[in-house]
Amino acid sequence: MRVRKAVFPAAGLGTRFLPATKAMPKEMLPLVDKPIIQYGVEEALAAGCDQIIIVTGRGKTAIEDHFDQSYELEQLLEEKGKTELLTIVRQISDMIHVAYVRQKQAMGLGHAVLMARELVGDEPFAVLLADDVISGPVPCLKQRIKAFEATQSSIIATQQVDGPAISAYGVIDGSPVRSGKFNGRLHNIKNLVEKPKWEEAPSNQAIIGRYILTPEIFKALDRTPLGAGGELQLTDGLRLLLKKEKVYGYNFEGVRHDTGDKLGFLKATVEFALQRKDLGSGLRDYLKTLKL
Ligand code: G1P
């Protein structure tokens, strides 16, 4: 089956970025000049998904406005002959069909995914956490869709994280699938734990915010008790799913930028700006003048 739908949980409060996020969704913070969530939406499109489902909450209308048409702005840009900007603005609303569903209470990632159940229906789907912006030669989601096509099983993106930092993640206990075409990147998962203590982490393979899930996950989440932080954790739902179906980890190729963290956000801003034709050399020259 083809993966057509991509779910973006976006109901979180974004307290780490207060006061910037007091009246603005954290997903709308710009990396250079593009909101964080748009990077994820573009990745989902590049991977062949054509239906975007955004799980929103109170105070998130700016996300809906962003992916909608903006008549006044378009008219103004047209009158002023700013055709390049007009194209950029139109491309966003023309990009894709977006559906929204509200998560009334922020009760965890597993709960957010459950909110999308009706819109997803009985088919495999992708989940993208917008905070994790991933750059690389092949879109991260596309790499995992290939693995899904070969296995017809849920696939979770993983990355090596060494040291105590591992306890900020979900962690898999798995072993590489030696045969097949995935060069040791595909892992059989035996178990998964959400935010373990460093000493208790089953491996150094951390879960990164890109998932392909079979619809069986909804039934598993129905039966999942509240976990870390008193929330319904997707990782715990996946552990129950493991009892019914195979779940694989996929150590993806690419660089992950943790834009949910202030330092990660700043680093990503600099890296993305340095890659831009219109900004890169100016920023590079400026950085060189800093006495660091
Ligand atoms: C979520 C998941 C966690 C995963 C992380 C990746 O945690 O629950 O398993 O490792 O995203 O970014 P959060 O960062 O929302 O606390």
Can you give the pLDDT at residue 126? 96
Residue with CA nearest ligand 1 atom 10: 169
Predicted confidence (pLDDT) per residue in 168-207, tens digit: 999 999 998 887 778 788 999 999 999 999 999 999 999 9
Residue 33 lies in a domain: yes
* Ligand 1 in reach of 268 Cβ (< 6 A): no
Residue 220 lies in a domain: yes
Alpha-carbon distance of 277 to 98, in angstroms, equals: 30
Instruction: Report the CATH number that the domain containing residue 193 is assigned in CATH.
Output: 3.90.550.10
Predicted confidence (pLDDT) per residue in 8-37, tens digit: 999 988 889 999 999 999 999 999 999 999
Residue 94's domain comprises 5-260
Q: Are 100 and 56 in contact (CB under 8 A)?
A: yes
Can you give the pLDDT at residue 283? 97
Residue 275 lies in a domain: no
Strands of the chain (E only): list them: 5-9, 30-31, 34-35, 51-56, 97-102, 125-128, 132-135, 154-160, 170-176, 186-194, 205-213, 247-251, 255-258
* Ligand 1 in reach of 194 Cβ (< 6 A): yes
Place of tokens 């996950």: 217
Q: Are 233 and 109 in contact (CB under 8 A)?
A: yes
Residue 87 lies in a domain: yes
Which residues are registered as beta bridge partners of 160?
205
User: Which amino acid type is present at position 9?
Assistant: P
Can you give the pLDDT at residue 122? 96
195: left (phi over 0), alpha (psi -120 to 50) or beta: left
Residue 53 lies in a domain: yes
* Ligand 1 in reach of 109 Cβ (< 6 A): yes
Alpha-carbon distance of 172 to 151, in angstroms, equals: 18
Domain count of the chain?
Answer: 1
CA of 42 to the centre of ligand 1 (A): 21
* Ligand 1 in reach of 113 Cβ (< 6 A): no
Predicted confidence (pLDDT) per residue in 125-143, tens digit: 999 999 999 988 777 778 7
Using alpha carbons only, give the angle 261, 212, 272 rounded to the nearest 5 degrees: 35
Predicted confidence (pLDDT) per residue in 55-90, tens digit: 999 888 999 988 888 888 888 888 999 888 888 888
Can you give the pLDDT at residue 291? 84
CA of 207 to the centre of ligand 1 (A): 7
